[in-house]
Chains A and B, each alone.
Chain A
Amino acid sequence: MDFELMITSFPKLLGATVVTLKLLSASLFFGLFLGLFFAILRLNKNIFINKFAYGYSYIFRGTPLLVQIFIIYFGLGQIEYLRTTFLWVILKEPYWCAIIAFTLNTGAYTSEILRSAFQTIKPGIIEAGKSLGISNKIIFYKIQIPIAIRQSLPAYGNEIILMMKGTSLASTVTLMDLTGVAKYIISTTFKPIEVFIVAGGIYLFMTFIIHNVIKYLEKKYSFQQ
């Protein structure tokens, strides 16, 4: 064990964690809206809208995240026509390709989490609102959405942790995130065990923080029995 290498690589890895956190927060932010949008589409009675939303979540939950990143980064990059459009400004950058892939992926999972949360809301609660003369729109925004968010907290916490670990795939499209920098250090020191232990420790610490924040939120917004 080369403890000196572990100590000297720690600050470098910590610096790279900023990139990981940026990727994570950006994709979770966009993914939450995308997920909510598709969850609402899933609840729509129109069969085409419903199937479209289902198809989206089916495709992105049914294929590996690595494949999705490769298709968006290397795949789209091979289409000559695309390179002449304004889209190339975004797709040229590995950073945005990673965020697009992560957003589409987490959006699919989030839509499923929120959909099931909406469906578990007891009809009685909505009926109670209606009997008080509250409009459907207000019932949706003030009753259904808050309950659904509370219901989905444990599952969504899981999704955040999965996504945090998923960001390590950004290193496959040349980004210098936590895993990318760890690989870079290994490529010059040839000592994978030491470097990966430190990187793994940082990932574990982030999981610890996310886990506890979600636990706190669950407690804070728990239903009074």
Chain B
Amino acid sequence: MNIFKKTILTVLASLFIIGNVSAEKIKIGTEGAYPPWNSKDASGNLIGFEVELAKELCAIMKYECTIVEQDWDGMIPALVMRKFDAIMAGMSITAERQKTITFSQGYADEVASLAVMKGSSLEGMDTPEGINLSLGGSDVKKALKTLTGALAGKTVCTQTGTIHQNFLESGDVGSVNVRTYKTQDEVNLDLTSGRCDVALAAAVAFTDYADKSGKPVVLVGPTFSGGAFGNGVGVGIRQASDSAIGKRDAKILKDFNKAINKARKQGIISKLAIKHFGFDASM
């Protein structure tokens, strides 16, 4: 028994030493169901903007990274329970999430928009092109008022646990009838079937779906940013603590911040954004 214990300890110790000497090994969680941010190809491989960006960032940090899949609704709990070490899943930096986890600096801007099927009565809404909820002002107020009137009595669909749900429930557009789905795919399905009058998500999620499915999904109203929509998309990481693992988390955060700076300067983020979104969403 004693020998057995010793062997285990030696093996564990050696693993620890090797781990320290060689490159840091981390796992990055992504959803794989939010194209073009992150999705899967026909054979099940993870693809998309964040999958490619993660590879670039890991190369800069000299980390050995494995990208793993995790359902959106369990993303933050899975990070906290150490199923992986970082989140790159189109997750916007919000105060609500920062109570539980921490974020790197933002690497891309998520522009949210409402979408309807062509021919909907909501088309041609009289609002500015984009509103920033953090800035406020009479324009924003007027736009929110228009939206409140337009959305009254409509079923608005969105993915569970997203900034879009937070916004719809914030009261900024009155009390709307919100219906939430596990994935964006399901939102798209029910938008086309007509169960949803209107849907809210990242604008690119709708344009990507419209392109690939050929369904007449069109964006309406203003694009949203600020306020409930957070401050850009960043890498989600566990909050640092004084323990050995907590210090490792702090180091991962520091390395990601540095790597994002470097990738931005070299134009890697812009290049990937243009490739996947069709415009430069880097920040």
By a beta-carbon cutoff of 8 Å, the part of chain A in contact with chain B is 74, 77-78, 83, 92, 94, 172, 174, 183-184, 186-188, 190-192
Compute how far the CA of A190 lies from the CA of B80 in the bound complex, rounded to whole angstroms.
9
**CB interface residues, B 175-226, toward A, < 8 Å:** 179-182, 186, 189-190, 192-195
Contact A83 B180, beta carbon cutoff 8 Å? no
Nearest neighbor of B99 in chain A, beta-carbon distance: A190
Contact A192 B193, beta carbon cutoff 8 Å? no
Contact A187 B189, beta carbon cutoff 8 Å? no
Nearest neighbor of B178 in chain A, beta-carbon distance: A174
- Say whether B137 faces chain A, with CB atoms less than 8 Å apart: no
**Interface size bracket, B side:** 20 to 34
- Say whether B241 faces chain A, with CB atoms less than 8 Å apart: no
> How would residues 102 to 140 of chain B score, 1 for a CB under 8 Å from any chain A CB and 0 otherwise?
000000000000000000000000000000000000000
Contact A174 B96, beta carbon cutoff 8 Å? no
Question: What's the minimum C-beta distance from A62 to chain B, rounded to whole angstroms?
Answer: 25
> How would residues 123 to 161 of chain B score, 1 for a CB under 8 Å from any chain A CB and 0 otherwise?
000000000000000000000000000000000010011
Contact B194 A83, beta carbon cutoff 8 Å? yes
**CB interface residues, B 33-91, toward A, < 8 Å:** 73-74, 76-77, 80
Nearest neighbor of A176 in chain B, beta-carbon distance: B180
Contact B193 A77, beta carbon cutoff 8 Å? yes
Most A-side CB within 10 Å, residue of B157, B190, B195: B195
Contact A184 B195, beta carbon cutoff 8 Å? no
Contact A190 B77, beta carbon cutoff 8 Å? yes
Known contacts: A74-B189, A78-B189, A174-B180. The answer to whether A183 contacts B160 by CB under 8 A is: yes
Question: What's the minimum C-beta distance from A170 to chain B, rounded to whole angstroms?
Answer: 13
Which residues of the partner chain B approach A78 to less than 8 Å between Cβ atoms? 189, 192-193
- Total A-B residue contacts, Cβ distance less than 8 Å: 46
Contact B160 A187, beta carbon cutoff 8 Å? yes
Compute how far the CA of A78 lies from the CA of B193 in the bound complex, rounded to whole angstroms.
6
Which residues of the partner chain B approach A77 to less than 8 Å between Cβ atoms? 189-190, 193-195
Which residues of the partner chain A approach B100 to less than 8 Å between Cβ atoms? 190
Q: Is chain B's binding surface mostly helix, strand, loop or mixed?
A: helix
Compute how far the CA of A78 lies from the CA of B161 in the bound complex, rounded to whole angstroms.
26
Compute how far the CA of A174 lies from the CA of B190 in the bound complex, rounded to whole angstroms.
11
Most A-side CB within 10 Å, residue of B73, B100, B193: B193
Which residues of the partner chain A approach B73 to less than 8 Å between Cβ atoms? 183, 186-187
Contact B181 A174, beta carbon cutoff 8 Å? yes
Residue from B80, B97, B165, B194 in contact with A92 in the complex, judged by beta carbons closer than 8 Å: B194
Contacts beyond the supplied A78-B189, A172-B182: 18 A-B pairs with Cβ under 8 Å: A74-B186, A77-B189, A77-B190, A77-B194, A78-B193, A83-B193, A174-B179, A174-B180, A174-B190, A184-B160, A186-B73, A187-B73, A187-B161, A187-B165, A188-B96, A190-B80, A190-B97, A190-B101
Question: What's the minimum C-beta distance from A180 to chain B, rounded to whole angstroms?
Answer: 9
Compute how far the CA of A128 lies from the CA of B181 in the bound complex, rounded to whole angstroms.
59
Compute how far the CA of A184 lies from the CA of B76 in the bound complex, rounded to whole angstroms.
14
Contact B180 A184, beta carbon cutoff 8 Å? yes
Question: What's the minimum C-beta distance from A174 to chain B, rounded to whole angstroms?
Answer: 5
Which residues of the partner chain B approach A92 to less than 8 Å between Cβ atoms? 194-195
Which residues of the partner chain B approach A83 to less than 8 Å between Cβ atoms? 193-194
Known contacts: A174-B179, A174-B181, A183-B73. The answer to whether A188 contacts B161 by CB under 8 A is: yes
Question: What's the minimum C-beta distance from B253 to chain A, rounded to whole angstroms?
Answer: 18
A-B contact pairs, 20 of them (CB 8 A): A74-B189, A74-B190, A77-B189, A78-B189, A78-B192, A78-B193, A92-B194, A172-B182, A174-B181, A174-B190, A184-B160, A184-B180, A186-B77, A187-B73, A187-B160, A187-B161, A188-B96, A190-B97, A190-B100, A190-B101
Which residues of the partner chain B approach A188 to less than 8 Å between Cβ atoms? 96, 161
Nearest neighbor of B179 in chain A, beta-carbon distance: A174
Question: What's the minimum C-beta distance from B33 to chain A, rounded to whole angstroms?
Answer: 14
Which residues of the partner chain A approach B192 to less than 8 Å between Cβ atoms? 78
Compute how far the CA of A187 lies from the CA of B179 in the bound complex, rounded to whole angstroms.
14
Contact B76 A190, beta carbon cutoff 8 Å? yes
